[in-house]
Structure 1
Amino acid sequence: MNDGYVARIVDAELGDALRRAGAVLIEGPRACGKTETALQRAASSVHFDREPGITELLNLDPSIVLSGETPRLFDEWQLAPQLWNLVRGEVDARRQQGQFILTGSTAPVSDAVRHTGAGRFARLRMRGMTLDETGHSTATVSFSSLIAEEKPSAQDPGLNYRDLIDRMVSGGWPGFLRLDPSAAGKNLADYLSTVAELDLREVDGVSRDPIRVRRLFAALARSTASEVTLSTLAKDETSLSRDTVRDYLNALVRIFIVEDQPAWSAHLRSSATLRKEPKRHFVDPSLAAAALGIGPEQLRKEPKFAGQLFESLVVHHLRVYSQSLQGAVAHARDSAGNEVDAIVQFPDGTWHGFEVKLGNQPEVIDNAAAGLLRFSANVDSNPPRSLSVITSMGASYRRRDGVNVIAIGALGA
C-alpha cells in the first residue's frame, strides 16, 4: 500500500466489487491511477508491462502466475489476453469472492471471450480525478444529496476563474498533481504523441498515420462538448474519409481517450423531436487543450473554448459521481432548439437535468434555469427529480422556481 496515495471515489466501488465477485476488472486511460488504486487492495501483484518473461511463464505453467496472496493484481492484463479465461476458470474452481483484480488501458480486440466472465467478473470504469479528489473542491454539496432532492446550501468555495482554468489545463492526472499547468500541458502533449505513434497501433495491429491522428485530435478538441458529426470531423481534419474517422474514433474509444455523451431518448409532448447525435468529449478536458497547444494564459482569453472545456469537465464529474449508482450521462436537444447539457438517468427511469454555465451572472443563471424548466415541461409523463445549473463559482442554493444553482468548486460525491 502506498502511504502517499490520494483517496479516490472509486475506492469504495472497488471494495464493494471484491465482496460480490471473484474477479474485478478496472479499465480506463493510461495514467488515470488504476494501478495505484488496485494496489491499495491487492495482496500480491504481477505487472505484465514490466516483468520480462511473465507471459511465457503464463503459457508454460499458468498455476505459478495465478498463485499468490489474494486479491492478486494482474496489471495491464490485455498484454496476455489468454489470462482472462484462466482467471475465469480459477474463479470457478475456488468459488470465493475477491480473488483477482485485473487492470487494463486497452479493451481487447474482441469482447467474445469476455462474455464468459458473466457472474465471475465485476467491471469498474476509472477516469481522471475530480476536483474534490485533487483537493480543489470543498465538496460541501454532494451529488448524492442532489439525487436525493435535498436543498443545496454552500458559500462561494473560492475557486476563481484563474484557478479553474489552471485545473482544466492540468487535468485530473494523479502523476501531474504537483506540476504547474504549463509543465502538465507539455506532458499531456507528449501523452497524445504516444497515443498517436504507439498506443493506437497496439489496439489491433493496424498502422494509422500519426500526423492524421493528431489532426483528428485537433478537430475533436475544437468540437469538445458539441454534437459534431463524423462528416464534419472528416471535413475539419481534411485528409480522412468519414469511414476512416469512424475507425480512428473506435480505436480511441478502446484505449479510453475519447468518451461520447449519447443523446437522450424520451417522449416529448410537442411535435419537436430529440436529436440523436452524441456530444464529443476527450476522457479529460485537459487533453483537448493539449491537442490545440493551448496553455492557461491563452485559454483565459478564449472564454468560448473555456466554456466548452468547462462543460466537458462537469460531464466528467457527473460520470464519476453517478457511476456507483448506475447512472448514465446523456444530453438532450430537440428540433426546436431546447436543450439540456447533461441528463443523469438511473435504471428505474428517474432523471436529473443539468445546465452548465461558465459565468455566474444573474441573467446567465436566469436564462439557464428558464431553459431547464422549458425543456422539462415538454417531457411527457416522466418529470425530472431535480434541475440544476452548474456554474464556475459563487454560492450554491435553490432558487424559488425550484432550480438548484451549484458551483463546481463546492460539488463532491
Structure 2
Amino acid sequence: MYVSVMDYRRRIVDRELDELFPDLPAIALDGAKGVGKTETALRRAEASVRLDVGAAQQTVLADPESILTRPRPLLIDEWERVPAVWDVVRRAVDADGRGGQFLLTGSATPALGATAHSGAGRIARMRMRPMTLSERGVEEPTVGLAQLLSGGRAPLAGNTGVRLVDYVRELTASGLPGIRRMGERAREFQLDSYLRNVVDRDIPEQGVAVRKPDLMLDWLRAYAAASSTTAGYSQILDASTPGISDKPARTTTTAYRDALMQLWLLDPVPAWGPAGNPFTRLQQTPKHQLADPALAVRLLGLSADALLDGEGEPLGPQQGTMLGHLFESLATLCVRVAAEAAGARVGHLRTRNGDHEIDLVVVRRDGRFVAIEVKLSGTVDDRDVRHLRWIRERLGDDVLDAIVVTTGPDAFRRPDGIGVVPLALLAP
C-alpha cells in the first residue's frame, strides 16, 4: 500500500537511518510484511526496483548486475526474491565504499546458501518492527529508555490519559501501518487474510511443504496463546492437536517454526543471564512473541470486549490473564524498538523453579542493564516489585535502573527508587 508523504508518520528507525545511511554504503531493513519497510526506505531512495513484481523480477533474474545501472541511492525491495542481488551489492560496495548507496528491504531470510556471502562488513542490517505506541501518536512520551540506560536514576515525571481500554484498543488495532488505518471490520478481515497468506503462500515460498494448512494455523493459535510465556514447544504442539493421537512429527513442527522465524513473524525474547552468572539455575527457554500482538488477538478469536471481560486461556507456566500476557506483548514491542535505537539488546530472566523472573532485561554493550516488570495494573505495591528488589540485591551496580511498566496515569519513583512508568509514556 502506497503511503503519501503527507500521510507518512516518521518511525524510530528513521532516526537511525538519518544518522547511519550517509556513512554506510548499504543497509538492509529486515522485518515482517507490512511493517512499513518500503515506505521508510522510499524516502531516501532516488530510484527503486521492486522484485515482488513479475516483470522486474524476471529482468533482474536474467541479469542481476543490471541493478547497478540505476541511480543511487537505490532501493531494492523484497531482495530475497532474487538472492543473487545481495552478492551484486556486496561486490559493488567492495569496489566503491561511499555511504548512502543501497537500501535493501526484505520480508524473509533466504535459505542457507542462497547467497555466496553473509555481507558482513559490507551490508549493515536493521530490524524493523510494527509501530510502537509513541510511533502511533497515542501519547506524548516523557520517559526515554535511553535515559534509563544512562544510569543515575533520574526523577521520573509525566501524566497520561491513556487507560486500560485504550491499550486494549491498540492491541486490536495492529502496529502494521497499512492495516491500522482501516475500519474495524476491514482490519479484522485483513489480519485474517495476512495469516492465511502466510500459511498458504509465504511458507511454501520458503521451501516448506504445508500439507495441512489448517493444522499449521492451529499451531499458530497455540503459539499465540503462549504469548509472553516460556511454554515448551511440545506443550504448544499438544495444545494445537487436542485429541489427535497421530501428531505431526517434531521435524515437521520445527520446520514450521523455522520458516515463521525466517518470515520475521515469530519474535521470541531470548533468555538472558549476566556475565559470570551468580545464579545457579536459570531457564534457557525463550519467551514467545508474535511480531504484532494484533495477530495473536485474531488467532485467538478475541475482541476488545472479550479481552476486557477476561476471556482467553493462556498457555504456559506464567500466571495471569490473556489480556495481561498480550499487554506484555505490546510492552515488549515498544521496549525492543526503543532498545535497538539505543544500541541495546533485550532478554528475559527466569529461574528454573519460577520463583524469580524479570519480564524484560535491556542490556547495554558493557553488560549493565535496566530491569523491567510489566503489570496490567494502574497501581503498584510492594509485591509487584519483589523481583526487581531481588535482582538489585543480587547484582548491585550492574542494575542501571529498575522500573514497572503499568496501565496507570503517572510516571514517578517509589521511595525504594524503583520507577513506575505508564507504557504510553515510554519512548526511546
**TM-score of the pair, normalised by structure 2:** 0.90
Contact 2:131/2:176 (<8 A) preserved: yes
Map of 1:318 onto structure 2: 335
Q: Partners of 1:208 and 1:144 in 2: how far apart?
A: 46
Map of 2:316 onto structure 1: none
Equivalent residues in 2 for 1:11-22, closer than 5 Å? 11-22=14-25
Map of 1:95 onto structure 2: 97
Q: Partners of 2:231 and 2:203 in 1: how far apart?
A: 22
Q: Partners of 1:27 and 1:43 in 2: how far apart?
A: 20
Contact 1:275/1:334 (<8 A) preserved: yes
Q: Report the alpha carbon displacement of residue 234 of structure 1 after superposing the two structures with TM.
A: 1.5
**SS of 2:121's equivalent?**
coil
Map of 2:373 onto structure 1: 355
Q: Partners of 1:307 and 1:281 in 2: how far apart?
A: 13
Q: Partners of 1:214 and 1:106 in 2: how far apart?
A: 19
Contact 1:339/1:375 (<8 A) preserved: no
Of 31-40 and 229-238, deviating more is 229-238
Of 256-265 and 104-113, deviating more is 104-113
Map of 1:79 onto structure 2: 81
Of 259-268 and 133-142, deviating more is 259-268
Of 150-159 and 220-229, deviating more is 150-159
**SS of 1:123's equivalent?**
strand
Q: Report the alpha carbon displacement of residue 141 of structure 1 after superposing the two structures with TM.
A: 1.3
**SS of 2:215's equivalent?**
helix
Map of 1:334 onto structure 2: 351
Q: Partners of 1:180 and 1:140 in 2: how far apart?
A: 30
Q: Report the alpha carbon displacement of residue 208 of structure 1 after superposing the two structures with TM.
A: 4.6
Contact 1:169/1:184 (<8 A) preserved: no
Q: Partners of 2:62 and 2:380 in 1: how far apart?
A: 68
Contact 2:367/2:398 (<8 A) preserved: no
The question of 1:206 aligning with 2:205 is answered no
Mark the runs of 5 or more structure 1 residues left unpaired by the alignment.
none
Q: Partners of 1:208 and 1:394 in 2: how far apart?
A: 49
Map of 1:40 onto structure 2: 43
Map of 1:391 onto structure 2: 406
Residues 409/222 of structure 1: CA separation in 2 closer, same or farther (3 Å cut) = same
Map of 1:224 onto structure 2: 227
The question of 1:233 aligning with 2:236 is answered yes
The question of 1:283 aligning with 2:291 is answered yes
**SS of 1:212's equivalent?**
helix
Residues 114/146 of structure 1: CA separation in 2 closer, same or farther (3 Å cut) = farther
Q: Partners of 2:409 and 2:299 in 1: how far apart?
A: 30
Of 401-410 and 178-187, deviating more is 178-187
**SS of 2:206's equivalent?**
helix
**SS of 1:393's equivalent?**
coil
Q: 1:56-114 CA distances to partner (integer Å, 9 max, x unpaired)? A: 32244444422222110010011111111111112222232211111010101016736
Percent pairwise identity:
32
Q: Report the alpha carbon displacement of residue 341 of structure 1 after superposing the two structures with TM.
A: 0.5
Map of 1:401 onto structure 2: 416
Contact 1:138/1:411 (<8 A) preserved: no
Map of 2:256 onto structure 1: 248
Q: Partners of 2:261 and 2:405 in 1: how far apart?
A: 27
**SS of 1:326's equivalent?**
coil
**TM-score of the pair, normalised by structure 1:** 0.93
Q: Report the alpha carbon displacement of residue 12 of structure 1 after superposing the two structures with TM.
A: 1.5
In the TM superposition, structure 1's runs of 4+ consecutive aligned residues that sit over 6 Å from their partners are: none
Q: Partners of 2:114 and 2:20 in 1: how far apart?
A: 22
Residues 135/269 of structure 1: CA separation in 2 closer, same or farther (3 Å cut) = same
Q: Partners of 2:303 and 2:358 in 1: how far apart?
A: 29
Contact 1:350/1:385 (<8 A) preserved: yes
Of 59-68 and 368-377, deviating more is 59-68
Residues 123/353 of structure 1: CA separation in 2 closer, same or farther (3 Å cut) = same
Q: Partners of 1:115 and 1:326 in 2: how far apart?
A: 25
Contact 2:208/2:256 (<8 A) preserved: no
Contact 2:64/2:84 (<8 A) preserved: no
How many residues get paired?
A: 408
Residues 208/124 of structure 1: CA separation in 2 closer, same or farther (3 Å cut) = farther
**SS of 1:370's equivalent?**
helix
Q: 1:361-390 CA distances to partner (integer Å, 9 max, x unpaired)? A: 343xx22222211133234x7631100000
Q: 1:229-258 CA distances to partner (integer Å, 9 max, x unpaired)? A: 111111111233333222211110000111
Q: Report the alpha carbon displacement of residue 55 of structure 1 after superposing the two structures with TM.
A: 3.0
Q: Partners of 1:250 and 1:116 in 2: how far apart?
A: 19
CA RMSD of aligned residues (A): 1.9
In structure 1, give the amino acid aligned to 2:273. Answer: S
**SS of 1:92's equivalent?**
helix
Contact 1:157/1:410 (<8 A) preserved: yes
Map of 1:262 onto structure 2: 270
Residues 129/246 of structure 1: CA separation in 2 closer, same or farther (3 Å cut) = same
Map of 2:315 onto structure 1: none
In structure 2, give the amino acid aligned to 1:8. Answer: R
The question of 1:346 aligning with 2:349 is answered no
| Structure 1 counterpart of 2:394, from 378, 394, 403 | 378
Contact 1:47/1:74 (<8 A) preserved: yes
